[in-house]
Structure 1
Amino acid sequence: MTELIHFETPSPNWNERQLPISMVVLHYTGMQSADEALARLCDEAAQVSAHYLIEEDGTVHRLVREDRRAWHAGKSHWRGITDVNSASVGIELVNPGHEFGYRPFPDEQMAALLPLLAEIVQRHDIPRANVVAHSDVAPARKEDPGELFDWDLLAAHRLALKTPRVSMPSPFENDGAFFLALERWGYDISDQQAAVRAFQRRWRPHIIDGQVDGECSAMLFSLLLDRDTGKTR
């Protein structure tokens, strides 16, 4: 593990975990530079942090030890867990985000993420379905790491789930059935349109309109079917 970390950059923003680690949450920093992001994540007054930060050139910083609860997810929810900070490892990827000129994540950055994520997932026995976006756990508040993040690359290394390839019509009788299924998959559906946008941003990033349609419904049905048959580990 130590060979994957280039710098120890301790943040004071942590407390004790209340839950075992069962997920990884991926973020973008949404700030104009790595230095600005590190300064904020290590500023006691900011009250935010993450376990790791990866710069665009692949430099990896460890900010908070994994046995501690970093403050990266905020008010969030995933599969019945509302203290996502206690149950997760948070990884920040330096990227200006939608506010400051969102752009693709460089190859060097993704190449540094892959072994770090693989080591975390293996050590904590985290299922691929629980490697999630910040937007997945906080759909009404967050968009990161966003539609340009290469989930397919993670899936190719068995670090995330593959995007379902579907051609069936909607398997759900109505939108209500879809939202019950979306909640069963893990999302907070209190803001239904935001939950659909988060699902689309993760699974169908070329169309993010917050509208339930046959393609989204078929994707969700396929994901749930795979989970029920044990294929999402």
Structure 2
Amino acid sequence: MKRGVWLVALTLLLAGCAGEKGIVDKAGYQLDTRRQAQAAYPRIKVLVIHYTADDFDSSLATLTDKNVSSHYLIPAVPPLYGGKPRIWQLVPEHDLAWHAGISYWRGATRINDTSIGIELENRGWQQSAGTKYFAPFEPAQIQALIPLAKEIVTRYDIKPQNVVAHADIAPQRKDDPGPLFPWRELAAQGIGAWPDAARVTFYLAGRAPHAPVDPAILLDLLARYGYEVKPTMTQREQQRVVMAFQMHFRPALWNGVADAETQAIAEALLEKYGQD
């Protein structure tokens, strides 16, 4: 009799534990998740925006081949199903995709390991008379991107300064998504960083926007914000870093020249979002 009472009590105790918050029943075992380690960090910290530089069919073939991949691909004009634009998911978010390549952001390398990549069908740039001309993005494509990016940023608590262009994390190799990508519009939707205009004016301090500044001072600011800046860089490599920053935050002029407005924008961003 006593043994039967004891077994009933034990069963009730275990059932109570299984229903307890933080106790998870599995097939053949239980997980106690009530004590979580402090030395743990989320894997996904960065959202990287790309363009494909190709049409949709070619982009889809490339991104599902063996050499390169991305988590999402958005057509230039997404087809509507039930009134909703369709986006292609090519890699589950919990898996690593090969979209960033050799890269660096805010002290970290191997950005593929810590990021989600979104590819936008877009022709990229063409060159004429030594000048690059970038293809615009379709409004329907940006409207499809915004809710997807919002969900990703919220799901992984991605900081505004970690929503980046491919050019930001690989300025020596990449230009995408280029100066016509609407970063300011996305930032207004809570996706990514953007400087406060009043603080840019403050840091400009009455100087003409395109007045030259010391490139070394500007590059130090960009390094503190997150860009890879090496002491051994050539002048052309330095210009590529400045150009990547300008395409993102001062798209009206992205000539790679260190000027007062670019410096003021960098200072305003550092004040708002902190440094690497």
State the TM-score, normalized to the length of structure 1.
0.84
Give the distance between the partners of 1:85 and 1:228, measured in 2 at CA.
23
For the 8 Å contact 2:45–2:114, the answer to whether it is kept is: yes
The residue type equivalent to 1:207 in the other structure is L
Residue 48 of structure 1 is matched in structure 2 by 68
Q: Among 190, 195, 201, which residue is 2:247 paired with?
A: 201
For the 8 Å contact 1:95–1:102, the answer to whether it is kept is: no
Q: RMSD of aligned C-alpha atoms? A: 2.1
Secondary structure in structure 1 of the residue aligned to 2:104: coil
Give the distance between the partners of 1:78 and 1:138, measured in 2 at CA.
9
Secondary structure in structure 1 of the residue aligned to 2:73: strand
Moved over 4 A (4+): none
**How far 1:153 moved relative to its partner?**
1.3
Residue 27 of structure 1 is matched in structure 2 by 50
For the 8 Å contact 2:195–2:272, the answer to whether it is kept is: no
Kindly name which structure, 1 or 2, has the bigger radius of gyration based on alpha carbons.
Answer: 2
Secondary structure in structure 1 of the residue aligned to 2:145: helix
Structure 1: tracts of 5 or more residues without a match = 1-17
Give the distance between the partners of 1:162 and 1:208, measured in 2 at CA.
16
For the 8 Å contact 2:134–2:179, the answer to whether it is kept is: no
Residue 68 of structure 1 is matched in structure 2 by 95
Decide whether aligned partners of structure 1 residues 177 and 52 sit closer, same or farther in structure 2, where only a CA change above 3 A counts. same
**How far 1:206 moved relative to its partner?**
1.1
For the 8 Å contact 2:47–2:163, the answer to whether it is kept is: yes
State the TM-score, normalized to the length of structure 2.
0.71
**How far 1:102 moved relative to its partner?**
3.6
What percentage of residue pairs aligned between the two structures are identical?
Answer: 43
Secondary structure in structure 1 of the residue aligned to 2:119: strand
Higher relative contact order (Cα pairs below 8 Å, separated by 6+ residues): 1
Give the distance between the partners of 2:195 and 2:181, measured in 1 at CA.
13
Say whether 1:152 aligns with 2:175. no
The count of residues paired between Structure 1 and Structure 2 equals 208
Show CA shifts across 1:97-147 (max 9, x none). 114974211111111101100111101000111100000000011000011
**How far 1:192 moved relative to its partner?**
1.2
Secondary structure in structure 1 of the residue aligned to 2:59: helix
Task: Summarize the alignment of residues 1-233 of structure 1 with structure 2, pairs less than 5 Å apart.
Answer: 20-31=43-54, 33-44=55-66, 47-58=67-78, 59-99=86-126, 102-165=134-197, 166-167=200-201, 168-169=204-205, 174-190=214-230, 191-228=237-274
